[in-house]
Amino acid sequence: MNAIMTDEARTRSAKNVAIVVYALQALSFFFGMTYLAAVIVNYVRRSDVSGSWLESHFRWQIRTFWYSLLGWLVGVILLEVLVGWVIISATAVWVLYRVIKGWLYLNEGKPMYLPTGGGNGPLANVNR
């Protein structure tokens, strides 16, 4: 029974870390450095969630960071031709979407996508 409690406590702790990371990502719209703190926490605690349903949330959060960083860099480079503002704005909306979707799935106890990489799309459960 202690092993079960330990696993439950470990899962609860990892879920709390994921909540904190989503909060840090959301706060980055007001305090930019929290975005960097969020990805550092993800990398430091990633081994704690290996093999669990929470691993998909950590992967989701890390990918959100790196792809948004790429989007923002491209946007900054293209500010000269005024297209940059559109790219920066689209990247911000995309980050907001990913934070909200991730937080909702986490609260529902759902992984972000199937462990096999099948995704949550319309064809995710076709062969089940």
* 42: CB partners within 8 A, 6+ apart: 21, 58, 61, 62, 65
In total, how many domains does the chain have? Answer: 1
Q: Mean pLDDT across the chain, nearest whole number?
A: 87
pTM of the full structure: 0.82
In a domain, 80, yes or no: yes
| pLDDT in single tens digits along all 128 residues of the chain | 555 558 888 889 999 999 999 999 999 999 999 999 999 999 999 999 998 999 999 999 999 999 999 999 999 999 999 899 999 999 999 999 999 999 999 999 999 976 554 555 443 443 33
Instruction: Kindly report, residue by residue over 41-71, the tens digit of the pLDDT.
Output: 999 999 999 989 999 999 999 999 999 999 9
68 is in which domain, residue-wise? 2-107
List, in order, residues 6 or more apart from 88 with CB less than 8 Å away: 71, 72, 75, 76, 79
pLDDT value of residue 76 = 96
CA distances from 4 to 12, 17, 52, 90, 110 (A): 12, 20, 14, 44, 20
122 domain residue, yes or no: no
* 24 in a structural domain: yes
Whether 117 maps to a domain, the answer reads: no
Tokens representing 86 are 């559109």
Cβ atoms of 83 and 89 closer than 8 Å: no
- According to DSSP, residue 113 is labeled S
